[in-house]
Structure 1
Amino acid sequence: MSAQPPSGPVVPRARVANLANFLTGIRLVLVPVFLLFLFTGDGHESASRITAFVIFAVAVVTDRLDGSLARTYGMVTEFGKLADPIADKMLIGAALIGLSMLGDLPWWVTVVILVREIGITVLRFAVLRRGVIPASRGGKLKTLVQAVAIGLFVLPLHNWPAPWLTVAWAAMWAAIVLTVLTGIDYVVSAVRDSRARSAGR
């Protein structure tokens, strides 16, 4: 007797070549372009820094768009799950390390943020096969505040009135606090989820 086909509608798998993944690819390409303008000349040329800011802002927008498109139109793929966080961390990491190399941002800030981001990314990949822990509201707020804070430091603040540097540091301190708190929250959620799965076996 032949096997019966599974009942219910068959959900087609999303194609890797879709708009969401294309935007992720653009973000990856923009990282070296961003660094090129960030380090142009002595790294403190106003026109180049403003151009670097624009590139950084475009890359951040693609991050918001690709995730929204993937969820809304069923474009989620295994490639996207892997490439999207890598593209995000490359952009943030390149900006932070670049700013620290130029002396515009203390290295301890870069280390704190990158240790959290890389650690959580590794943890995400570790639990990927057992399910994805969705980003919390705090995590989304952290991402937004990080982007704003880093973007402000990319701008040529040394040529701007003093209050702008104060605003930039206020945003960066908010980003640091959210980075640490959401990192702790994510680890706690992952441990709780792992224990719940173990108890359910």
Structure 2
Amino acid sequence: MTGATESTPVVPRVPVLNAANALTLLRLVLVPVFMAMVVVSAMTHASWRIVACLVFVFASVTDLVDGWIARRFGLVTSVGKVADPIADKALTGAALVLLSWYDWLPWWVTAVILARELGITALRFWVIRHGVIAASRGGKIKTALQILAITWYLWPMPAALSAVGPWIMAAAVIVTVVTGFDYVAQALRLRRPHP
């Protein structure tokens, strides 16, 4: 009889403190650093704007790297799936608010994007006992467009190139809103009682 000796294979538990989550934490730590650089620049000093832009880009790149590390080395955790989008929203949210504060971006754009981002974060917590809403492909495109648009605004571009920024941001806003509806649909499916 082998039934008594056989057991279910043990799935190794992924530690919460791992390289991927450490990068997510680093991104959160860089948010106030980035904000300080923007405030020092007041969006008028080119050299400080470049520094702020580089900090923003570096922090944004950690989002790509931590996701790759988590998938490549099997370090995906529920904590990471929730903390990662929160770190993203903290970084992009801070950038959008500061750009609007210094009159580089209309406040309604910041309001629409932040309302969507905070709403989706709330949805993730609402359904967390039923499942985790991971970032979709559309969500990743949205994030890429937001990062590109913010980078465009932060970097001291020549006037001709600076005019491209609002078009990139317009595309980011459209994708942000559309993907927001998709996440709402996912959340409702997770909350729906299963037979």
TM-score, normalization by structure 2: 0.91
Question: In the superposition, relative to structure 1, how do residues 10 and 152 fare at CA in structure 2: closer, same or farther (>3 Å)?
Answer: same
CA distance in 2 between counterparts of 1:5 and 1:113 reads: 56
Please state how far the C-alpha of 1:136 moved relative to its aligned partner.
Answer: 2.3
Instruction: Tell me the equivalent position of 2:148.
Output: 148
Shift in alpha-carbon separation, 1:189–1:83, aligned structure 2, 3 A: closer
Instruction: Summarize deviations over 1:19-55 as a string: whole Å, max 9, x none.
Output: 1011111101111111111111533110000111101
C-alpha distance in 1 between matches for 2:56 and 2:156: 14
CA contact (8 A) 2:81 2:134 kept: no
Q: Which digits, 9 at most, give the CA deviation of each residue in 1:141-163, with x for residues without a partner?
A: 11111110111111224xx2x22
Q: Distance in 2 between matches of 1:122 and 1:23?
A: 23
Where in structure 2 are the equivalents of 1:1-201 lying within 5 Å?
A: 7-157=7-157, 160=158, 162-195=159-192, 198=193, 200-201=194-195
- Which sits farther off after the overlay, 32-41 or 175-184? 32-41
Q: Please report how far the alpha carbon of residue 80 of structure 1 lies from its aligned counterpart in structure 2 after TM superposition.
A: 1.9
Give the partner amino acid of 2:163: T
User: CA 1:150 to 1:8, structure 2 compared with 1: closer, same or farther past 3 Å?
Assistant: same
Distance 1:86 1:192 in 2: 22
Q: Which runs of 5+ in 2 are unaligned?
A: none
Give identity over the alignment, percent.
52
Q: Aligned residue pairs: how many?
A: 192
The alpha-carbon deviation at position 81 of structure 1 amounts to: 2.9
Deviations 1:72-113 (A, max 9, x none): 212123432332222111101110011111111111110000
Equivalent residues of 2:24, 2:62 under 8 A apart: yes
Q: How many angstroms apart in 2 are the aligned matches of 1:52 and 1:184?
A: 32
TM-score after normalising by structure 1? 0.88
Q: Which amino acid aligns with 2:178?
A: L
The residue type paired with residue 185 of structure 2 is V
CA change 1:5–1:31 in 2 (3 A) is: farther
What RMSD in Å do the two structures reach over aligned CA positions?
Answer: 1.7
TM-aligned CA distance change 1:146 to 1:6, over 3 Å:
farther
* Worse overlay, 136-145 or 54-63: 136-145
Q: Aligned AA for 2:102?
A: L
Measured in 2, the distance between the counterparts of 1:151 and 1:6 equals 56
Query: Residue 12 of structure 1: SS of its match in structure 2?
Result: coil
2:161 is matched by which residue type in structure 1? W
